[in-house]
Amino acid sequence: MEFVIISSDYKITIPEPIRNSMKLQPDDDFFIYAKEDTIVMVRKKALSEFKGKFSELTLDDIREEFERTE
């Protein structure tokens, strides 16, 4: 787990070990949402890889499953 601080203009810097392990690049796209006191970021590319494989699932289904397992 890494520690970050929100800047005065509400930006954070993703720590280098996380950037490297996830092979993050500038301009990578993410979905972001809040759940209680947690911020969750999901790489958009990762979700697009599943497009068409689970056509019966909706975004609400995914959110419900995530909330259920928390």
In-domain check, residue 9: no
Question: Is the pLDDT confidence value at 70 over 60?
Answer: no
Q: If you average pLDDT over residues 30-54, what whole number do you get?
A: 77
Rg (CA), the chain: 14
In-domain check, residue 10: no
Count the domains in the chain.
1
In-domain check, residue 40: yes
Q: What percent of the chain shows pLDDT beyond 90?
A: 39
In-domain check, residue 42: yes
Tell me the torsion sign for CA atoms 19, 23, 25, 31: negative
In-domain check, residue 6: no
CB contact burial 18-53 (16+ within 10 A = b; e otherwise): eeeeeeeeeeeeeeeeeeeeeeeeeeeeeeeeeeee
Note the pLDDT of residue 18. Answer: 95
Q: pLDDT tens digit string along 4-33?
A: 999 999 999 999 999 999 999 999 988 888
Question: Is the pLDDT confidence value at 57 over 70?
Answer: no
In-domain check, residue 4: no
In-domain check, residue 3: no
Note the pLDDT of residue 47. Answer: 60
